[in-house]
């Protein structure tokens, strides 16, 4: 049993129906990943993306358990901002579409406000040449599914690649834009993404947090842009508009002319302006009267429009049969088989988490795999959208920033920038690093406080068998020593003080 399954077993025994037990892996489950074993079995890419490398660091973080969310959970985390990432794993045996329904599902959470980047999952096309260590952005895929945004452009993407049976060329068929995904990037909660492909009807359905947001026929024109099927007829590429073709529907009235008295000058020289008496042409140049609005201005003149007797209408090329047209009634069966999944991403924002990936042919398996998300989401809803990971990270990052501020006060600025900055960045981005280093840094402080405040003011040693207040060297009680010390102090006082005391004693 996995670590998560062992953690949930007591809850099941006690009858706590939180829905946290993970489903067993059945033959209907083609791929399943909860990251309980980290990223064992996954491969990072050594390929280049243009001039960049896939050098983003992946982390698997253990969320701390809480009373409301008792099970420790591991999530895959994009730990660095402004990086390219590529992490892939085999799907074995390969997934073949068209034989049965397919459910593709995983969770994603943006622990920081997203600015630009993708968080989608690609199902890579099976190929003898596929090498997970060289996967890149142009590696062929069958399906791309998941969130993608940059600025105001926010998408929950579903794209499938289809091979035209006539030309043999692949095209990307994009589902129309969904208006829901903005909350995915902003509310910092964990979201469940589900894509269902139904083999019998060749339909698809996209669910966000178990709510259907888009569905219809796979590749239909009202759900995809461009549509899967090309048009049956197209413009004749060899047909051109004649040079003498008249497509102006209206024309100026040829019998109408501009009236001679028509005033179309918007401004005129101010007739009342006069050259100043002290104007010096040699010094100031030639004097020019200022312009003012023309009170007689009528605006631009235009002839009346009349119907053009030579008008031939809007020209359109002839329509011919599309040589690339084909008819497809079962597009799902034509999708490439899938032999691997990959997160091939670019993001300017860190802190994106992934979990509970499943590809299955059984709807019940997909629903059961979402039990963990339901419990996690209930916890987040009860805590204003803060997951255990985000809460822990916020706590440790805040503590770490305070430590950094303290250290910066006593370190040379140059040394601080060179030596401390890498640890600072690591502590802020990774709560485990920040928490561990913070604990090490604060340990001497706690020991000092304990030594000064919690051990008393004596030599720090007491014989447990000795009565309290007895000094083991002389047998004299501590109280007696205090009295002797007080007597010596009294002897050192001035005579005036002694006389005052004596006077007071007599009066008493």
User: Does pLDDT of 65 surpass 80?
Assistant: no
CB 175 within 8 A of CB 157: yes
Band of residue 412 on the pLDDT scale cut at 50, 70, 90? low
**Residue with the larger pLDDT of the pair 105 and 48:** 105
Structure tokens at 313: 């209408």
Bond before 93 cis per omega within 30 degrees: yes
- pLDDT of residue 474 exceeding 60, the answer is no
CB-based contact 245:312 (threshold 8 Å):
yes
Tokens of 352: 């994106």
Residue 444 scores a pLDDT above 60: yes
Quick one: average pLDDT of 466-487? Answer: 47
Structure tokens at 195: 């894509």
Provide the pLDDT confidence category of residue 468 given band limits of 50, 70 and 90. very low
Element (H, E) at 116: strand 116-118
Query: Does 480 have pLDDT greater than 60?
Result: no
Tell me how far CA of residue 399 lies from CA of 365, 434, 436, in angstroms.
Answer: 42, 8, 11
Report the distance separating Cα 104 and Cα 33, nearest Å: 12
DSSP 184-232: HHHS--EEEEEEEEETTTTEEEEEETTEEEEEEETT-TTTBSS-SSPPS
- Listed in sequence order, the residues at least 6 apart from 14 whose beta carbon sits closer than 8 Å to its beta carbon are none
What's the pLDDT at 446?
Answer: 73
Task: Write the DSSP symbol of residue 71.
Answer: S
Selection from 24-28, 124-128, 417-421, 437-441 with the highest mean pLDDT: 124-128
d(CA 60, CA 385): 21
Above 90 in pLDDT, residue 21?
Answer: no
CA distances from 124 to 45, 132, 199, 342 (A): 14, 10, 20, 7
How high is the pLDDT of residue 392?
A: 57
Per-residue pLDDT for 7 more than 50? no
Residues 351 and 392: beta-carbon distance below 8 Å:
no
Give me the residues paired with residue 344 across strands.
86
Helix, strand, coil percentages for the chain (3-state, nearest 5): 25, 30, 45
- Where is 356: in which H helix or E strand? strand 352-360
Q: Are 184 and 107 in contact (CB under 8 A)?
A: no
3-state secondary structure of 272: coil
pLDDT in tens, 266-298: 999 999 999 999 999 888 899 999 999 999 999
How far does the chain reach from its first CA to its final CA, in angstroms?
87
pLDDT at 382: 84
What pLDDT does 71 receive? Answer: 67
174 closest CA partner among 127, 210, 138, 214:
214
Beta bridge partners of 123: 143, 341
Provide the pLDDT for residue 469. 45
Provide the pLDDT for residue 186. 87
Looking at residue 427, its pLDDT comes to 58
Among candidate residues 363, 290, 305, 336, the one with its CA nearest the CA of residue 104: 363
Q: What is the C-alpha separation between 111 and 354, in angstroms, rounded?
A: 11
- Residue 455 clears pLDDT 90, i.e. is over it: no
What are the backbone dihedrals phi and psi of residue 496, each rounded to the nearest 5 degrees, phi first? Answer: -60, -40
**Mean pLDDT in the chain?**
81
> What average pLDDT does this structure show over 109-125?
94
Task: State mean pLDDT over 491-498.
Answer: 50
Question: Which of 103, 151, 144 shows the shortest CA–CA distance to 123?
Answer: 144
Q: What is the pLDDT of residues 220-233, one digit of tens each?
A: 999 999 899 999 99
In order, the DSSP letters of 283-343 are HH-S--PPEEE-TT------PPEEE-TT------PPEEE-TT----S-GGGGSPPEEEEEE
Please answer whether residues 199 and 98 qualify as being in contact, where contact means their C-beta atoms are separated by less than 8 angstroms: yes
pLDDT at 12 exceeding the cut of 50: no
Q: Check residue 351 and give its pLDDT.
A: 93
Span of 71-75, 375-379, 424-428 with lowest mean pLDDT: 424-428
* Average of per-residue pLDDT across 299-324: 96
HSE-CB at 60 with a 13 A cutoff on CA atoms is 15
pLDDT of residue 199 exceeding 80: yes
* Confidence band, pLDDT 50/70/90 cuts, at residue 26: low
- pLDDT score for 17: 36
Residue 18 has pLDDT above 50, yes or no: no
Structure token digits, residue 252: 């100026």
DSSP state, residue 420: I
Its pTM stands at: 0.64
366 vs 481, more confident: 366
Tens-digit pLDDT profile for residues 244-262: 999 999 999 999 999 999 9
Task: Say yes or no to pLDDT of 309 above 70.
Answer: yes
């Amino acid at each position: 049993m996995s670590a998560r399954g062992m953690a949930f077993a007591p809850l099941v025994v006690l009858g706590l129906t939180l829905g946290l037990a993970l489903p067993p892996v059945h033959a209907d489950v083609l791929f399943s990943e909860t990251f309980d074993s980290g990223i064992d079995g996954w491969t990072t890419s050594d390929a280049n993306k243009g001039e960049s490398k896939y050098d983003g660091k992946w982390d698997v973080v253990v969320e701390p358990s809480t009373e409301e969310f008792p099970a420790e959970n591991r999530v895959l985390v994009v730990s660095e901002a402004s990086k390219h990432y590529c992490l892939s794993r085999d799907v074995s045996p390969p997934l073949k579409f068209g034989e049965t329904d397919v459910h593709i599902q995983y969770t994603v959470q943006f622990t920081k406000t997203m600015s630009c980047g993708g968080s989608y999952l690609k199902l890579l096309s099976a190929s003898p040449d596929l090498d997970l260590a060289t996967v890149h952005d142009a590696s062929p895929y069958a399906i791309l599914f998941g969130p993608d945004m940059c600025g105001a452009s926010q998408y929950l993407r579903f794209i499938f690649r289809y091979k035209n049976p006539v030309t043999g060329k692949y095209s990307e068929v994009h589902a129309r834009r969904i208006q829901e995904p903005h909350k995915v990037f902003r509310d910092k909660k964990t979201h469940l993404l589900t894509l269902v492909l139904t083999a019998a009807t060749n339909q698809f359905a996209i669910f966000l947090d178990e709510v259907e947001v888009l569905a219809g026929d796979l590749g239909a024109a009202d759900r995809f842009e461009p549509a899967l099927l090309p048009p049956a007829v197209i413009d004749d590429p060899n047909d051109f508009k004649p040079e003498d073709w008249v497509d102006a529907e209206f024309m100026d009235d040829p019998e109408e002319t501009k009236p001679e008295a028509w005033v179309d000058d918007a401004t005129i020289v101010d007739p009342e302006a006069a050259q100043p008496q002290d104007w010096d042409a040699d010094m100031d140049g030639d004097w020019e009267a200022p312009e003012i609005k023309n009170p007689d201005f009528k605006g631009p003149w235009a002839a009346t429009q009349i119907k053009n007797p030579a008008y031939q209408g809007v020209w359109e090329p002839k329509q011919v049969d599309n040589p690339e047209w084909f008819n497809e009634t079962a597009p799902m069966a034509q999708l490439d088989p899938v032999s691997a999944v990959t997160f091939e991403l670019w993001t300017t924002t860190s802190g994106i988490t992934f979990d509970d990936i499943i590809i299955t042919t059984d709807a019940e398996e997909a629903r059961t795999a979402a039990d963990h998300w339901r419990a996690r989401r209930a916890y987040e809803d009860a805590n204003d959208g803060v997951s255990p990971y985000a809460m822990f990270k916020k706590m440790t990052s805040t503590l770490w920033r305070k430590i950094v501020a303290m250290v910066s006060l006593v370190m040379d600025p140059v040394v601080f920038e060179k030596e401390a900055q890498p640890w600072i960045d690591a502590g802020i981005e990774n709560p485990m690093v920040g928490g561990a280093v913070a604990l090490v840094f604060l340990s001497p402080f706690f020991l000092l406080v304990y030594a000064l405040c919690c051990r008393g003011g004596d030599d720090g040693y007491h014989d447990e068998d000795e009565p309290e207040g007895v000094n083991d060297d002389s047998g004299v009680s501590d109280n007696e020593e205090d009295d002797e010390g007080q007597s010596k102090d009294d002897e050192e006082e001035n005579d005036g003080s002694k006389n005052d005391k004596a006077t007071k004693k007599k009066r008493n």
